[in-house]
Structures are given as structure tokens and as C-alpha cells.
Structure 1
Amino acid sequence: MLHILHGADLHLDAPFTSLPAEKARQRREEQRELIERLTGLARSRGADLLVLSGDLFDSADTYAETTQALCRSLGQTGCPVFIAPGNHDFYGVRSPYTALTWPENVHIFTSPALERVDLPSLDCAVYGAAFTGPAREDCPLSGSQAEPGPRYRIGVLHGEVDGAGRYCPIPREDIAASGLSYLALGHVHACSGLQREGETWWAYPGCPEGRGFDETGDKGCLWIELDAGGGAEAQFLPLAARRYQVLEADVTGRDPAEALLSALPEGCEKDILRVILTGETGEEGVDLTALTALAAPRCYHLELRDRTSIRRDLWDRAEEDTLTGLFLRSMRERLAGAGSGEEREVLELAVRFGLAALEHREEPLP
């Protein structure tokens, strides 16, 4: 059995431009703590290999504290570490990878062609290649096949499965013909789960920390177990200290403050939230400044978006000599004889849906 911890797309020293400057600085510090959490998992779980499939850095413009923290932590994993630089952290003369002397257990692939490293004690060979510029349109797997011999043959690459662009497109047929036991990929920021082409297993772990509202929810790495018979299992391990979440709060018929607070989930104190206010309001609309001040203490950072519409008088067309007028007069009579508040809410909602149907508008949110 071979145990692999697979991570990718850390994007260390990302600018976090959507956050205030002080919080952006704090997030970069937290990314350095992310390195410790990742290598701590390798130690505590007894990983045989730690493979990192590119874009460890967001750019070549990195802070010395970051490269030093990464170098120090990787040297303490207790296992071999393999890095395949990606399009953001491509290998070159100004690469962060050339700034330090790396620990002996860390191997950085530096060539666009596949390179092989043998690990006889693990009955394993690791193949990898690097971006050497911000783009590459070829696939290093094309025309290549892992040599038979070692029981486990691991690939580490940054690229796009089914891609057709500038970021190392990887055809599925090349994966199937690769002869690899497992292909550890980076570039796609969502976890793919364990996939298979031919006899080769492959996966994207996704990024371990979201950096914006296009990277919501739990983020982390993959724990891969390969058995001698060619089987594989994968477990997603959450790593993110903070999550990005996009939520909606319908203010129709409610106090906007109450609607907003009720939309905030439990345990979101560390999270970065975007709340979209929807539904109908009075002519005065919503006070985003006041609502932000009210809810901001309940999370790390809050962004409000106003998508509400002003509620019109439901009955302003009831006297028309039209089908709409007939419908409104009928519903107004039913409302006048309604009993409970719940019955009135249902009837008013029916009026709104009826008007939307008659006027060929989008149905309102219930």
C-alpha cells in the first residue's frame, strides 16, 4: 500500500484585493499557517509521499517569509516531497524555487519534459514536469509512457484535462496510455474526486484555501491510498481556515435586518460572506450601510449586494376592465374573507404569482 498526500494551488502571497489591506495582510499570514497544516497532515498520517501539483505561489513576486516558511515546513514532512511548478509559479531564473537551497527530501521538477525519480524503498517511481513559462500548449504525457518495473508509478503535473488552451491541455487518452498508477494534477480549483482513464487513476484536490467568491465552501487536499493490485481510494481532507460563502436573504414582507441575520449560518464567524438581498421592499429600499454594520461582527468579512425590487401596490389594477382586473378583484374578495394570518400570506403570494403569469414576468421568490 502506498499513501500519498496530494495538494495543489496554494497560491501563496495572493493579493486578496477584494479585502481591506489589513485583512489581506492577515490572509497572507494565514496562508503560511496553511503550509504547516498541510505538512502536519503528512506527518500525522504517515504519508509515503507528499506531491504538490503546481501554483504553490501566486506569482514570482513572493515574500521572503513565505518561501522560508515553505522550505522549512517541507523539510519536516518526514517523507519525500515532489513539486511540479505551474503557470503561476513557473520554473525560471526569477522563480521562487531558485531563491533558496531546498531540503534534501524535496525534489522540484525543472524541465518541461517528463523526468523520472526512483524511490526503491517504496517500490515507486515519480514522474513530473514543469511549466517553464506562464503558458504551455503541449502535454508532457503525449508519446510518453511510464517504464514497467516499479509497482507504483506516480505522475505530478499542472494542467487541464480536456483542455484546449494555454495551460497544458491533457487529453484523456494520454492519461489512459501513460502507464501511471496515479496522476496527481493541479490547476483546477475544485476537487474532482478520484477519476480513472484506462488503468490510471487521477484527481484534482482543488485549492486548499478559497481566495474569492468563485471558490466557495470547504477546500483542502486529497489522501490517496494505492494498493498493489491497482486499486485506489481517496479521502478529501479539509484545510481551509476560512470559507467563502454566497448566501441569499429574501426581505419580502420582513424587516430587512431580521431577514439578513436569519440568513447567516451557524459557525460562520471565521468565514467571508457575500449576502445577496432579494425580494420586494417598500419604496425606501434597504440601508446597506446600517445592515452591514449590524451583521459584520458575526463573520470575518461581509459583502452585501442589493438585488431587491420596490414592492408595488398589488391592487392598483383591480378596477381595470381586463382579465388582470377580474383576477385581482376576485382575489381581493377572498382576502377580505380570509381567517388566519397564514391563509392571508398564502393568498397574497398567489396574487403575486398570478400577476407574474398574466404579465409574463419571472415568478417571484416564494
Structure 2
Amino acid sequence: MKIMHCADIHLDSKMESRLTCEQAAKRREEMLMTFHDSLDYAAEQGVRAVLISGDLFDKRHIRKTVKDKVEQEIVSHREMDFYYLRGNHDITDFLDEMDELPGNLHLFSKDKWTSYPLPDDNIVITGRELDAKASPDVMSELVLDQSKVNIVMLHGMDSEYPVHDNSYVIDLTKMRGRYIDYLALGHIHSYRWEKLDERGVLCYPGCMEGRGFDECGKKGFVVLDIDKDGVKSHKFISLARRELHEIKVELAPEDDLDSIISKVKDVLNYSPEKDLIRVVLTGRKNMDLEIDCDWIKDKTDRNFFYYEVRDDTKTKINYETFANDRSLKGTFVRTVQGLDMDEERKARIIEIGIRAIMEGSLIE
């Protein structure tokens, strides 16, 4: 039996913090089309069950056209059963607006563990919608039949990671030894597959489309081949229309603007124009070099869908140059050099101070 596992699709996400309104609108439509394509792919592969481990939608207010399209996707794929476990972003009225739930859409509860036996396959899908308010004893209430192939769905953050929202924190140590064959997780937006215990495996499929530069690289979903003995194989599938790339370019103190432009162009040679690109300048630069990110961007842009340049360089200060300098600039550098603080902070103060001194002399 084949099962598709996806999560964190975040349909109708605003995405206007960096993108123009037109770009954001295009990305929203592309995310919806990627969801459509993934279901068509699943149907072609003979998938019988689709696991959505939370955050199908992004926010409370979702356009009606989007809700209607999602409902139509479920209804039109009647050969597949959808198991939708809502995540911390799924606070829309998507389900309330349906006249009746499609017969192939199965939901879960916050109040108890809900199980769905799959006919003729000895497989049981169990899940519960949890948040930060969930009882600490909630895992002790999970009782599974060890003679079954058990799939457990949850949406939450692995306890090894910091939590910044009201999502449930999953303590994986409490999931071990509970006869779980496949732990179908959502909330972390990067693909992750690993052993849970001697019997089972866990998976975060990640999101289907990256939205920000904390979601770089391949994005997609997982298709499992599972039978009465457990998970036989799995495959990560990416149908994303665009990828996000954060590319670091290391500078040296001897670099000037021309060499920086050359370095940036070199690393961009392998970046598709359809993608979203961030170049981050790192390393150390000469104190006299002023980096203009907008200028570098204009000189190196190849009409990427989105492109930005960020300056994360550190300034190299050659204190020997100012040892015998009796000017205001030399006095300033020696004063800062004697301060009790780390070198990075000193370098930043010196860079700003000298720039102010030079600009002041030009005004005079």
C-alpha cells in the first residue's frame, strides 16, 4: 500500500515582507498548484491514503477561492482517503463552511486519540491535535495494538529545538517503545527521516514550497510503501516550482568592489533565474572599503524571481597603520584600541567613527 505524507503547506500565506504584491500573489498561486500537482502525482502512483500532518493553511482568514479549490481537490480524488490533522496555523473556518464533509476526509480531535483502521491492510492511523496547553500525560493515553502496523500523526516541535509559538513540544523519548511503525510529523519545515526505535521510524516531510530564507533547498513530500509488516520503502518527492538559496561569498581584506562583483557573479552562475536568491557577503574587508549592497545587486542580478545581497562582513583593522598617526583619525583608532571590549565591536566602532570623521572633513 502506498501512502503520501505531507505537512506545512501554508496555503494562502501572505509573503509580502520581501516580495512585491504581484510576486507574493504569484507565489500563493504556485503553492496551490504545487499542492494540486502533488495529489495528481500521488494518484498516478496508486497512493491510497494522504496524511496531512498540520498547517494545510497559514492563517485565520483564507480566501474563499482557496478553500473551494482545496475542497475540490479532496472531492475529485475519491480514490484516496485524506487524513487531516490540524496544526497551530489551521485556525480558519475551512471545515465549518462545508455543507457536509467529503466521505474521504477524516479528521482528528484535541480531546482524545482518534484511530482509523485501514481495511484489509492491518494498518491503523492514529492521531491527536495538540498544542502547548496539552496535558503532560497525553502520551500515556496513547494505546496501540502491537499486532497492527501503527501510523501515528502529530504536529509539533521536537523538544531538541527551541519553541517560539503555541505549538506542542514532542518529547521523542516518550514516543519510543509504543509500537509505532511510522511517526508522521509536521511543524519543522525541513525534511527529516530517522529511526524512532528498534521498531519504527519518524519523518518530518518539510514544507512543499519554501517561503523565506529559513526554508532553503529542496522542498516536497514523502511517499511510503507500507504493508502488513511495516514500512518497506520511502521516497522524498519535490515538485516545488521554485527554490530558495542562501549563498555565502567570503571576502578578503584585499578585495575591492570589482573583485567582489566577480566573486558574486561566479557563485550565481549555477543559480536558476526562476528561484529566490540571497547572497551573503562574509569574511573580512578592508576598513576603507564601503560595501553598497544595492549597487552590487544591480551589477550582478540576472533577473532572478527575487534577489538580495546582504553584508555580514567584519572589518579588519591594521592598528600598526595608526601607531604614529597624529591626526584625529589616528587618535580615535588608538583610543578605541585601548577599550575593554571584543575585537569585532572595536572594529565596528572604528569603521563608523572614521567614516564620520571623513564625512565631516568633506563637509568642512
What TM-score do the two structures reach when normalised by structure 2?
Answer: 0.77
Give yes or no for the alignment of 1:297 onto 2:298. no
| Residue 356 (structure 1) aligns with | none
* Structure 2 runs not aligned, ≥5 long: 326-341, 345-364
SS in 1 for 2:196: strand
| Residue 60 (structure 2) aligns with | 60
SS in 1 for 2:302: helix
* Percent of aligned positions that are identical: 26
Give, as a single letter, the amino acid of the residue that structure 2 aligns with 1:147. D
Q: CA–CA distance in 2 between the matches of 1:309 and 1:222?
A: 41
| Residue 272 (structure 1) aligns with | 276
| Residue 8 (structure 1) aligns with | 7
The 8 Å contact of residues 294 and 309 in structure 2, kept in 1 or not, is answered as no
Pairs aligned (count): 317
Structure 1 residue 275 displacement after superposition: 0.9
Which of 139, 142, 147 is the matching residue for 2:140?
142
**CA deviation profile, 1:188-239 (whole Å, cap 9, x unmatched):** 1121113222423221111121121111111111122224333543221123
The 8 Å contact of residues 186 and 204 in structure 2, kept in 1 or not, is answered as yes
The 8 Å contact of residues 283 and 310 in structure 1, kept in 2 or not, is answered as no
* 1:188-207 pair list within 5 angstroms: 188-207=188-207
Which of 126, 150, 155 is the matching residue for 2:152?
155
**CA deviation profile, 1:230-265 (whole Å, cap 9, x unmatched):** 354322112322222111224543513222211214
The 8 Å contact of residues 34 and 239 in structure 2, kept in 1 or not, is answered as yes
**CA deviation profile, 1:275-302 (whole Å, cap 9, x unmatched):** 1123425835233333222333342111
**CA deviation profile, 1:95-133 (whole Å, cap 9, x unmatched):** 3222224432111224431111222133322212224x7
Deviates more, 1:288-297 or 1:29-38: 288-297
* 1:181-330 pair list within 5 angstroms: 181-252=181-252, 253=255, 255=258, 256-278=260-282, 279-280=284-285, 283=288, 285-308=290-313, 316=321
Give yes or no for the alignment of 1:24 onto 2:24. yes
* Structure 1 runs not aligned, ≥5 long: 321-359
Which of 96, 104, 118 is the matching residue for 2:94?
96
Deviates more, 1:80-89 or 1:245-254: 245-254
**CA deviation profile, 1:285-333 (whole Å, cap 9, x unmatched):** 233333222333342111111234667789837999xxxxxxxxxxxxx
| Residue 329 (structure 1) aligns with | none
Give, as a single letter, the amino acid of the residue that structure 1 aligns with 2:60. A
Q: CA–CA distance in 2 between the matches of 1:167 and 1:139?
A: 16
What TM-score do the two structures reach when normalised by structure 1?
Answer: 0.76
The 8 Å contact of residues 247 and 275 in structure 1, kept in 2 or not, is answered as yes
| Residue 125 (structure 1) aligns with | 124
| Residue 354 (structure 1) aligns with | none
Q: CA–CA distance in 2 between the matches of 1:189 and 1:141?
A: 24
Q: CA–CA distance in 2 between the matches of 1:238 and 1:137?
A: 36
